[in-house]
Structure formats: structure tokens, C-alpha cells
Chains A and B, each alone.
Chain A
Amino acid sequence: MNRIEGRVKVTGLATYAAEYPAENVAYAYAVQAQIAKGRVKRVDAAAALELPGVLAVLSCEAAPRLPEDADPELALFQRREVAYRGQIVAAVVADTYEIARDAAAHVRVDYDADDHDVRLSGDHPGLYQPEVVNPNFPSDTDKGDVEAGLAAAATTVDVTYETPVLHNNPMEPHAALALWDTEGRLLVYDTAQGTSGSRDTIAKTLGLPPEQVRVVSRHVGGGFGSKGTTRPQAILAALASRMVGRPVKIALTRQQMFDVTGYRTPTIQRLRLGVDGDGRLTALEHLAYEQSSTLVEFAEQTATPTRVMYASPALRTGHRLVRLDVATPSWMRAPGECPGMYALESAMDELACAAGLDPVELRIRNEPETEPFSGVPFSSRNLVGCLREGAHRFGWRHRDPRPGVTREGEWLVGTGVAASTYPARRSPCQAVATMRDGDVLVQVAAADIGTGARTALTRIAANALGIAPERVHVELGDSDLPRAPVAGGSAGTASWGTAVVRACEELRRDGKEGRADTTDEVKADAELARHAFGAQFAEVRVSAVTGEVRVSRLLGVFAAGHIVDEKLARSQFLGGMTMGLGMALMEETLTDEEFGGFLHRDLAQYHVPACADAQHVEAVWLEEEDGELNPMGSKGIGEIGIVGTAAAIGNAVHHATGHRFRELPITPAKILTARF
């Protein structure tokens, strides 16, 4: 289907958080820490407060007290300690955005600075084993004897990969408008990937009962996880509004988004693999080193896909974390799977090369019967089907396996393959469907962050009701609607869709209204391993003169259950793959070791792919029947597209050049330094 809100979006009529009009609105602008670690000694707001139009300056010396148990990334102005450069330490509220921004430069903050430590390394003395990794997996798993498996192997590889700090960079900046009414109720227009959860978080942070808070996010201009948790702008708008007694609006600058809206942790990943003479794994070990802040333990589940992918008698995975003087990492499209599968799928390619096996064949030979670590059966698994279909479409059998042999003028040409995987989850959700003037109103606090969720849910409801989609009206993006989980974990459509189908079924019985709460249904799900799978094939051209890499072909084949809507699904897959292309070749935020914080905090320095980089990106899928998922039979598709792309491209670069680049992104600088 075409997007229901497509017309209002392209004509500029769709209202985003920062665009809501409010009478007598004031504007807030954040002041950020200029040290990486230490304490705020003194805040001198006098010069700022003297400027005409300035209403208030918030800081640890002037702010409402918040509950002790608030998330420290959200508990603004409660402590003098500075945990990272860029942390919000003060804010100016003024009549206009321009005045607030100007005044922010006049707020003088004095610090007692301590020595900082912002550098992740694989031998950092502070590395430790977290109890669990996100969302709630064991940090380490161990099955069989890895050392014995490696010793017995005919071929082994022992390789280490590094991925940099990555930033989500949604097009719409994080923004909020907060309004308090006379009874002390708070309304926040926010850029949230989920309004129910955001309402709870804002209420908890401010010490309010949840029913006193309402969060509205009708349209969200991308999030990729960075809006999946409540971000400081919502709290700042609420605090500032309470302080000045006026509605307050805030929109972060692109640079501020780099500092306070989360990022993907950098990783260092060591993989050790062995295969026997038949190309069957004898051992597989995946250890991930990553960072979090001193404020919050965020332990990304980087090595967990290795528990899912390949059969091996010995399988060990682990995570080590170090707490640095940096901002807290957060969710970014396919957290865990994306960086983890980059490393695993690159290592599988290296193993195939070392063992003289075709990389597609190596994967097929190690297809497991059940989920490798847990032993739990799969609800469905079509990785082999994806590999075979992709190989056929891509013309894989014509490939000369020797690296560095195909050249067209100055361009070295190579191809690579990698597998994709992402869990297929669902969470409890509520929904209401009501007959209204012959049409059906469907209400659910889902979020459409640019994915097409509104359209997908319309189609799901129309199918469940047996009526035309034009007769269904989906209302979402408001915490006053029936409670729904976040648009995240590729579980949105599955969770919301289940509730919508059940509500529609109830409506058909009732004739007037149907209400659903899927808590019991979701709880009763059988214990099965539910994952989507895919295979990605890349063709790259590497200039022997300049080291530039251009991806001339990218093909993704996915098996993700029943595809709810082809047009929306294709966009999701292509978007994920294009983002994976960026990860492979250009995306990187630098950590400033001298001063702390990040460098390259804008879109001229942090490169995401331009249209010209996505030359021929194609996504197809296998129709997969799986009755163990949800009423739609669907698996989530928002994230799997980015999983494996970087490995497929990196493997293609190796095939083109004969050189293995193990640190992303693969830039001309690295290629020229290594090879030419």
C-alpha cells in the first residue's frame, strides 16, 4: 500500500513534535559540559539572565528536585558530577529560540576537572563481565570444548574486528514541547518511538503518577532506536515549562544529538573458528569488548547472534564491558546483531578462504537442526533457502573464488556474501476497534517512525475485518490510546498487529466495539527459537588509484514470515541495507581522546550514504509460513536489512583486493595505506 500519511508528509502538512503551535511558548537551549569528567564548581547565570527575553537558567544550582531513582541520563541538574563531555549541565529558557541559544553561550560554568578515560581497548584494566547483556541474555555462554575443537580442526582462524562509534542520525532532530495544565497534568509532544513507555519514564523521572502525563508523537521523522528510550529533551522541556509557567519547546541541534541521544557502542570482537576436512565447524568462539558510561550499564548483546547461527560442537560467546567517561550507548538499528554479525560473517568468510571452501557452501554445511546454543527448535528457519536463492539471482556460480583477479581498468571488482538474522519477537499490547459511521476506528498507542506502521496496521485491520482499507482509520502515537510497546526490536508490527487483529475479531463478534489485551496470548507462546534470516550479496569496485569503494550491486534475500505489505517491506529492507552500506564504508564518529566527547558531530563530517552510493540495491524475500508467530504470520523486518550488509561488502572488498580490512569503516585512507 501507499503510505496513508504520504500526502500530508510530502506536502509538509504532517505535524512533528517541534511544529505544534502553543500560545505563549518559550524555548529552551541546553548548555553542555566542556569537560569529560569532574564536577561543576559554579554556574554563573548572571550574564545570561540579564539578556532581554531570558526567562530562566536551569542548572544544578537552580532546578526542581527529582526522585532519587530517576535514570541518571534523564535526571537533569540533580548532581554536580560530570560523566562525559557534552552532558547537559544547564539550560536557558527564553522568549525565542535565538535568544535562548545566544544566552546559553553566556552561561559560565566552572568545573573541577578530573583526568578522563574515553578509549576502549581489548586489554583495558577496567573490563568486566556484565551479569546480563541486553535485553536480558546471559553475558557468557559455553558449550562443548572450544580449545579441543580448535586443536582438532583442519583449518582455524583467529581474527579480531573493530567497529567504531556509530550514530543513528534520524532526519528529524529530537524535539519536545511540554505543556502543564492548571491541575498539574503534563502534555509532552515528543519524538518518541513509543508513547506508552515514554509516558511512564517521564512520569517516573518527574515523580508524577503516570496518569498525569500524556505523550503525543503522531509523526516521528526516523529514530533507528535513538528515540526508543526517553531522551533528555522531553525532561528538559517539562522542567523548563514548570519553572517558567509557560509551554516550552526544544529541538536539539544535530551536534547535540551526537552528544545526548545515544549511539552504538564501538566494539572489538575476537573470533576463533575451526572446521574439519568436511567444512564442518569444530569450534566457534565469539568474544565482544564494548563500552558503557559511568552512569548506566548498557551492555550490548553483540555476540548473541553467534548463539543462533551455526552448528558447532563447541560454542562459546562472551561480552566484556568497560565503563568510560563517555555518554551511555543506546539502541541503534539491530543492536547486537548488526555489529556481531559483521564480525561473525567476516570471520566465516575468512574461514571459507582459509579452508578453500565456497563461502555460501560453508554456511550451508553448518546449518543447525536446532538453535545451536539453546537446543530449542526453530519455529522456522530458511537461511539456506535465502543463500541459494540469492546465489542464483546474483550469479554466484560464475564467481572466480580467487581474490584480486578481476579488474576493469583501475577498478578491482569483487563479490561477497554474508548471512543476516534478527529475532522475531512480540510483546503484550492493547488495542480497541470501534464502529463509527460504518467505518472502523482502530486505536493503539503504536508509533509510526517513518516505517509505515500506520499503513501496515490499517491493512492488518482491514484483512481481519474483511473490509477495504479505506474504511479503516488507525489512530496511534498517543499515550492516551490503548497501551502499546515501543517501535523497536523489530517487534512493533507483530505486537501491535496481534492486538489489532484480536480487537477486530472481537468487533466482528460484538458489532460495535472490540477490545484486546494480548498479555495472556503472548505469555502462552510455545518455547521456540523465532528468528528471521537472510542472505546478502555485494559486488564492489575498488579503485586501485584512489582506494574508493563503490558498491555496484547489493542483493538481499530475506525469509521473514509472511510479508504484511510488499511496498513497505521493500523500503524497510532497502533502508536497512543502505544503512549497512554506510556502516561498511563511511559511518564513524570519532572519540576525542584529548578533550573527551565526540568529533565529526554533523552530517558533513559523519557521512551517511547519499543516493549516488546506493546504485543497485535490491531486496527480495521468500514467502515463509510460520504458524508460531502471530496472527499475521509475520516476522519483524525493521532491522534485519542492516544485519550482514557490512560483512558482505567487506568480504567483497577482500575478494576484489586480496586484502582483509578488519576495522570499519573501509575508507580510501585504509585501502591506500594497506595496499597501494
Chain B
Amino acid sequence: MRPFEYARAGSTAEAVRQFAPGTMYLGGGTNLVDLMRLGVAEPERLVDVSRLPLDAVEEQGDRVRVGATVRNTDLAAHPLIRARYPMLARAVLTGASGQVRNVATVAGNLLQRTRCTYFQDVTRPCNKRRPGSGCPAIAGDHGNLAVLGTSDACVATHPSDMAVALAALDAQVHVTGPGGDRIIPMPGLHRLPGEEPERDTVLAPGDLITAVELPPPPPGASLYRKVRERASFAFALVSIAAALDVGRDGTVTSCRIALGGVAHAPWRAERAERALIGGPATGEAFLQAAEAELEQARPLPRNAYKVPLARNLIVATLEELAP
């Protein structure tokens, strides 16, 4: 762990002013501090934004604004979230452990890095960590890596559960930075690896997430379900955030599906959604929609199981949501 400077920002404007090349913002530190110990992240300077006054969950008309430094535990427990966005509360609660959630922030959760084994080991190549060094995961260990939207440079997954629910909810990420303020709709915050796997998100240097805004929840019932090797405290093999509304005539009127554990970003299953809306809410339709989505999958030998897993999960979840 190399020496670094530490500063605490009193306001978002001050945090952005303090940003310079080599600076990283520090939230709860549950991922960044690990990566610094491992030598994966080597910031010269940390600007601690965890105590900025961005820790409120507020009702704004029919929308809810979640501050960037709201702790994961507080988010999941908040009455507004539990009442209006149970899928989000459940997604957050499936992540990490109670201790980690007590410390981790909303913005930090969004910006956590992949847990690909090569990315976390500075003695091995990784295009995300050291661009151009190669991706040993493709021929090596990729058992829990991506099957959708991968590139020849990178097959990493984004590990967040919360982000999957936010993608399904059409959440909007509020960002401030040297270039001013802007709003990024989910799942657009995270990008696919392409030729630049070192870039996880569309954020520019110095950009600071200040809030996540939740539009009114989609109609109908919603669920978050996570598949993992052990019953708690494990990253998803595949997860799903889904909401479904079916009209009186039995046709799907609204559908949201987002998948986790399958891509470099929370994966909004737009093809499946399009295939379903206006059609019948039947098991057969759900299966066809899932297959339409997963046609794009590029599985590798040891993660090929994720394709039937995602398919089964989409079908089972929609069947559970259907009236």
C-alpha cells in the first residue's frame, strides 16, 4: 500500500475543487481500501466524501431522491424505499453482509469494481487494471464472469446488486463535476468493456455522484432474486430485478427486467421486455422472451451455465409475478 494524502471535503463543490489527477473519492471504503491494500488502486490522494451532507432519502413529489452517502443499510431500511421500491430494498439486502452494508454508501456501491480474480491480483495480467496486458480470464478462470456484452479484451462483471434494481427502476444518477452537473439514466452509468475495459463507467475524471433519483415505481408486482453458491455473503452468479404488470385481458402492459452477474454493467433485458409487452403473460411467452434476450450471449466454457440459469430465472421470476 503506497502512501497517500487524505483530505475531507466539506461540500460537494469543495470535493470537486480538491480533485486533481491521481485523486480518488472515498465513500465507505469497503471496496477502495481493499483495492489499495492489494495495490490495484494506487491513489495519490483521497478526498473523503463520506461525510458530505448527502445522506438523506427524500420524497420529492412522486419521486424519491437518495443521497449519495446514504449507507446501504439505511437505504434498505427506509420506509419510503420499503413501501415503494421493495425490489430495491431486497436487492440491497442481498448484497455483502450487515457489517459491510452499514459502511458502504450508495455511490460507492455503484462504483465498486469487478471481483474478477485477475483484476484483483497485480501480479497477473488484466486489461482492466493494466490496459493491453491481456485477459487471462478468457482462457482461465471465468466461472463467474460475463456472458453478455463482453469483448475480447474483458469479460468482467459488475458485482453490485443494488445497481441491478436501479437499472430496472429507471433510476437517474445525479452527477456533479468539473464540467458541471448532469443526470445519467441507469443503466447508462456503467459501460460495456469494448476496447476500453479500464473504464467501468461513463463518468469523467472528477465527476462525483451526488444522488440517485427514483422515478415512480413501475406498475405491478416486483421482485429481486439472487442466485449464489452460498446462502449469504456471496456475489451473484446471476441475479434478476423484475417488475410485471398484466392487464385484465391477460396481456403484459408493463415489464422491466434487469440482470446482474452477467455483464460488465447491470443488464437491462430490453429485447425480452419488448417481446413481452402487449403479448400474453404465459410461461411460453416468458421463455421465448428470455431466449430472445439470451441469443446475444457469448458464453465461455466455464460460465456457459449462466445462460440456462438466466433463462430459468427470467421465466421463474415472471411466472411468480404474473397474476
A residues contacting B by CB (< 8 A) are 32, 34, 98, 101-102, 105, 253, 255, 410, 545-548, 550, 585-586, 590, 592-595, 599-602, 604-605, 607, 609-613, 665, 667-670, 672-673, 676
Contacts and interface: CB of A to CB of B under 8 A. Distances in A.
Given A605-B117, A610-B233, A668-B229, A594 B2 contact: no
Nearest to B139: A594
A604 B231 contact: no
Interface in B115-138: 115, 117-118, 120-121, 123-124, 136
Contacts of A672: 305, 308-309, 312
B140 interface: yes
B180 interface: no
Contacts of B117: 590, 599-601, 605
Contacts of A667: 229
Interface in B287-309: 302-305, 308-309
A410 B309 CA distance: 14
Contacts of A545: 312-313, 316
Interface of B: 1-3, 37-39, 115, 117-118, 120-121, 123-124, 136, 139-141, 143, 227-235, 237-238, 302-305, 308-309, 312-313, 316
A592 B302 CA distance: 14
Give the 10 A-B residue pairs with the shortest CB-CB distance, closest first. A612-B231, A612-B232, A610-B232, A669-B305, A672-B305, A546-B227, A545-B316, A545-B312, A599-B117, A613-B231
A241 B253 CA distance: 72
24 contacts: A32-B123, A101-B1, A105-B2, A253-B37, A410-B316, A545-B312, A546-B227, A547-B227, A585-B229, A592-B124, A592-B140, A592-B141, A594-B139, A595-B136, A602-B120, A604-B115, A605-B115, A610-B232, A611-B232, A668-B227, A669-B303, A672-B305, A672-B309, A673-B305
Contact of A594 (B136, B229, B231, B313): B136
B123 A668 contact: no
B313 A546 contact: yes
Nearest to A544: B312
Given A102-B2, A105-B39, A600-B117, A607 B313 contact: no
Contacts of B123: 32, 34
B108 to A, nearest CB: 16
B304 A676 contact: no
B237 A669 contact: yes
Contacts of B231: 550, 610, 612-613
Contacts of A670: 305
B305 A590 contact: no
Given A102-B2, A546-B313, 5 more contacts: A98-B3, A545-B316, A590-B117, A593-B140, A672-B308
Contacts of B238: 546
B242 to A, nearest CB: 14
A604 B112 CA distance: 14
A547 B141 contact: no
Contacts of B136: 594-595
A605 to B, nearest CB: 6
A676 B316 CA distance: 13
Contacts of A102: 1-3
A253 B3 CA distance: 19
B230 A613 contact: yes
B202 to A, nearest CB: 27
Most buried by A among B118, B124, B231, B302: B231
A98 B36 CA distance: 11
A610 B115 contact: no
A676 B308 contact: yes
A491 to B, nearest CB: 32
Contacts of A601: 117, 121
A585 B140 CA distance: 21
B232 A607 contact: no
B230 A668 contact: no
Contacts of A410: 316
A548 B227 contact: yes
Given A547-B305, A585-B229, A586-B229, A599 B316 contact: no
A255 B121 CA distance: 10
B290 to A, nearest CB: 12
Contacts of B237: 546, 668-669
A586 B237 CA distance: 13
Contacts of A600: 117, 141
Nearest to B307: A672
A608 B312 CA distance: 26
